[in-house]
Structure 1
Amino acid sequence: MKKTKFLIFCSLFSLFVSTKDYVINPGPDAYENLQEAMILMNAGDSILIKSGDYYFEDSLSLDVDNVVIRGEGLNSTILNFENQKSGAQGILVTSNKVVLKDFAVIDAKGDAIKVIGADGIAMINLRTEWTGGPKSTNGAYGLYPVESKDVYIDGCIAIGASDAGIYVGQSKNIIVKNSQAMYNVAGIEIENSYYADVFNNKAQHNTGGILVFDLPDLPQQGGHHVRVFNNEITNNDTDNFAPEGNIVGEVPRGTGIIVQANSQVEIFQNNIGENDTVNIAVVSYQLETEDKDYYPHPSKIQIHNNSFGRSGFNPDLDTGDLSKILFSLSDGDMPDIFWDGVLPLKQMIFGQPDEEKLVLKHNGDATFLSIQPIQYMLSIFDPVNRSTEEFENDPSPLREIVINRFW
């Protein structure tokens, strides 16, 4: 028995002492030292990037599971890619159970930090920024985890992305909290994803604050079960600077929240106001697609217990069709909450099932407008509905998202 205990102790001790902590300091060899450490490290190892400014000409990549990359603060450890010559990202991660924390990535040639196919990724106290202000030549995404599971984003700052500052796509089990997104086209975007909680964030001075999208022609579709709550979604007023052809290039300046083609989305206890065009828009995907499996209509969207400030006082009539149609139908009296009313033809004729209907409850004095598509197409009757009576049903709260913590 004593021998067995001794062998177990030796095994555990060996595992403990075998982990390694790499330390990277500023200097001319910093890139080589950091990339080498990212290649040589093993599960359980960590890298500490000391305070300072690091100027890199090439992207960094990581493909090792169960490791930690950390700096000494998002305003202290600065990875600067303004002179980047190779690579489509600042940092690319293709491994599982990785923690990235306490550093900044600025002026990347493409995306700042991209994560592909991770089973567990934690992004904590990071900053991504393009320091020259909003420009179409900025990288598309700040924090960019895709095709991943158990995605945890906490205490991050994203500034200046030409698509989305914080973007989670085709992923499952997601938490985005305590973060700030500013001066991006989309502040925070959840796209084609399942089970996401987005809360305690500030989305300000973007083109659109928070987007919950589902798009065709992607391996994972039918985004569902997304909660957006306790967020500050205010003062979104930046002109759309997305490159031509980008889907978010259709988002009008000054949109608080857009829900497009998702089901089971709950929006509650947010402060939403001072957004140039509209506070909340619920819309179908209306571009042509050959994807026969794609369902373009939102369903069971619940909007309740929110606090609304002004919107529609400076609508963007030059970007996309949304604001132009809304401005025309409302005679300039823009609503806080807009639903385009587009449904499958059968539902437009016979009505939408109760369990799929929009829910609007306890939103103070928020105003509402929906389109009645058949009347709109016939151009005979008034297509505008301003009453919320049909939608004032009690909400059915979605469950809290729980992810498998690994750090």
Structure 2
Amino acid sequence: MRKLLITIALGAVLAGCSSSQTPTAQSQSDASFESKLQQQLLDAKPGSVIEIPAGHYSLKRGLSLRTDGVTIRGAGMDKTVLSFKGQVVGPEGLLVNANDFTIENLAIEDTKGDALKINQGKNITIHGVRIEWTAGPQTTNGAYGLYPVKTQNVLVEDSVVIGASDAGIYVGQSQNIIVRRNRAEQNVAGIEIENSINADVYENTATKNTGGILVFNMPNLSQAGHASRVFKNKVFANNTGNFAAKGAAVASVPAGSGVVVNSNDKVEIFDNDIADNQTANLIVASYFSTNYYNTRGVAPDYNPYPKGIYIYGNRLTGGGDSPDGLKLKTLKTAVYGLSGRFPDVLWDGYSDPKDLVNGLPPPDDRICIQDVNGVLNADGAHDYKNPSTGTKPYQCTLPKLPPVVLNPEPKV
């Protein structure tokens, strides 16, 4: 199909970029640009390419797109900037309900709510997009930066997200996902894969978040997640205090968390550089360790336990020296002394009691851990009363997961 090229009028671009205009003229040009851009989104047809030249544009209303097969393209993530600092209408910066959607080479800043939400689309490509809340970490920042939910065949690459009060890069209730070569910084959760199936997360950098990379399964959602690979990432110094809104799922993530698996199955974590995360470089936990436990009804088929977790071949240094929260601080002191530190892996200790045979889960459901300096079973099921440091229960292997293949392969 021949692509249609739609370029925002040059006059509006120049007006929007001019620093010599009076405030009134600037406001008029911003309103004109905003109106033209929204109209282009409304008029777009399958195959349309909406190009936004370099410039800093102030928008007051959220944008939306509902047409399949559209590309939105800027001149670069530091050149084409859509600023929602004065947003007064709409919870998102850009809301997309469409298939075959590509967005690339632009920035979205300071949205009132989520920055870029893509809902129920197939064949989604996010390339070279910067999302930022420019005043730094604050609870009043939007919750999600890049936010595909209930999507299929998703590629998020070469992008940057800074300052989200929930998750910087979040892919939820989706299938067939690649998240690669991104940078997530100063978010509560840097990168989060939630209730999703078949995800590859690799060659990303997550630093200065509360938690670096999260693989979660929450109750009462449209599907349970499994089969995620987290590899070749740099996850270091994720020690920012948790600034999530009260009641959010990530509000219970302790500051200083590197890679966290919660209630998810078949997760493979390997070949990562993980360092200096002050609670623990790697955390494996259940739903019972979240702030949702005992506060919300849970569907009877929900599996709250992490099963089939395989950790091996990572390079781990530092971390565990200053865990977040009174319970974890007390636990560290009790087991390792005031000057000690948690080992590389902290497990909350919850296992499905109906599946245990001689104290161990079935082979495919075990937590298998190699190449670490130790594992602490926190014994959360008994209020941390009998933590253990033995590594024998984790000396096992699991089948390796296949790579995720996107079909069709995105062209960027």
The TM-score with structure 1 as length reference comes to 0.90
Matched, 1:241 2:243: yes
How far apart in 2 are the matches of 1:115 and 1:266?
27
Give the structure 2 partner of residue 6 of structure 1. Answer: none
Query: Aligned partner of 1:356: which letter?
Result: D
SS at match of 1:43: coil
Quote how far apart the aligned CAs of 1:125 are.
0.3
Quote how far apart the aligned CAs of 1:235 are.
0.9
Query: Aligned partner of 1:23: which letter?
Result: I
Query: Aligned partner of 1:22: which letter?
Result: T
Residues 62-73 of structure 1: matches in 2 within 5 Å?
62-73=65-76
Stretch moving more, 391-400 or 152-161: 391-400
Contact 2:73 2:106 in 1 (8 A): yes
The number of equivalent residue pairs is 383
Matched, 1:357 2:342: no
Contact 2:364 2:398 in 1 (8 A): no
Matched, 1:367 2:378: no
Query: Aligned partner of 2:305: which letter?
Result: H
Contact 1:358 1:391 in 2 (8 A): yes
Contact 1:304 1:395 in 2 (8 A): no
Unaligned runs of 5+ in 2: 17-28
- 310, 317, 321: which is aligned to 1:302? 310
How far apart in 1 are the matches of 2:178 and 2:49?
23
How far apart in 2 are the matches of 1:378 and 1:116?
40
Matched, 1:76 2:61: no
- 3, 19, 29: which is aligned to 2:4? 19
Contact 1:281 1:337 in 2 (8 A): yes
Matched, 1:271 2:273: yes
Query: Aligned partner of 1:273: which letter?
Result: A
How far apart in 2 are the matches of 1:153 and 1:23?
25
Quote how far apart the aligned CAs of 1:395 are.
4.1
Quote how far apart the aligned CAs of 1:314 are.
2.1
Residues 30-45 of structure 1: matches in 2 within 5 Å?
30-45=33-48
Contact 1:237 1:275 in 2 (8 A): yes
How far apart in 2 are the matches of 1:293 and 1:329?
36
Query: Aligned partner of 2:322: which letter?
Result: N
Contact 1:97 1:406 in 2 (8 A): no
How far apart in 1 are the matches of 2:390 and 2:41?
58
Quote how far apart the aligned CAs of 1:165 are.
0.4
Query: Aligned partner of 1:19: which letter?
Result: L
Query: Aligned partner of 1:165: which letter?
Result: G
Identity %: 39
SS at match of 1:384: coil
Contact 2:332 2:341 in 1 (8 A): no
The 3 A distance-change label for structure 1 pair 249 and 24 is: farther
Q: 1:182-239: CA deviations, max 9, x gaps?
A: 0000000000000000000000000000010000011212x10000000000011101
Quote how far apart the aligned CAs of 1:323 are.
5.8
The TM-score with structure 2 as length reference comes to 0.89
How far apart in 1 are the matches of 2:329 and 2:126?
35
Quote how far apart the aligned CAs of 1:324 are.
5.2
Matched, 1:112 2:115: yes
Matched, 1:86 2:89: yes
Unaligned runs of 5+ in 1: 1-14
SS at match of 1:237: coil
How far apart in 2 are the matches of 1:96 and 1:203?
29
Contact 1:277 1:315 in 2 (8 A): yes
Q: 1:284-341: CA deviations, max 9, x gaps?
A: 10113331111100111000000001011222125xx556545545445312101122
Query: Aligned partner of 2:344: which letter?
Result: D
Quote how far apart the aligned CAs of 1:78 are.
0.3
Give the structure 2 partner of residue 194 of structure 1. Answer: 197
The 3 A distance-change label for structure 1 pair 132 and 21 is: same
